[in-house]
Amino acid sequence: MTVYDFTVKDNLDNDVSLENYKGKVLLIVNTATGCGFTPQYEELQSMYDELNEKGFEILDFPCNQFMNQAPGSDEEIQSFCTGKFNTTFPRFTKIDVNGDNAIPLYKWLTENTTFQGFEGAGGLMLKMVVKAQDRDYKNNGKVKWNFTKFAIDREGNIAARFEPTADLGKVKAKIEELL
């Protein structure tokens, strides 16, 4: 199984086969407009601007599962992201990434990766919040928070997972390696 086996909904509720991205390097990200990590949109857009012509795509999946930090409609989220951060990469409909209502793409991503650990000072605080919700968080592949990233190689395979606190320089380096 590869990422190309999945169909998702865009932010207008249209079906999109991920086979449309065949041969590209992807960064799949669950996002939120009211999160402490929301400013990552700026760095993600910068990475997208620099690397898109080389075959790089960011697929943005808003998610409201972590402290209700993406409460808006798909239209409101799109307007916020394009207005405040000038994002131009594809954004999809708001989804669940964990639990019974998780979309099949995220079930596949989380069943085939493991938690990578939190980094830095922000990681210490996030660890306390996540541990209160999931005492076994270190030992399962569930998405822990907004802005978890999955790098996908040109063949549609999972190449890396990055937790929200991962340095975006490391993420970019991995993307460049895959390109």
Tell me which residues are annotated as active site.
35
- Tokens standing for residue 87: 């994002």
Exposure b/e, 143-165, CB count within 10 A at least 16 = b: bbbbbbbbbbbeebebbbbbbbb
Residue 4: Cβ-neighbour burial (10 angstroms; 0-12, 13-18, 19+): middle
* 3-class SS of residue 33: coil
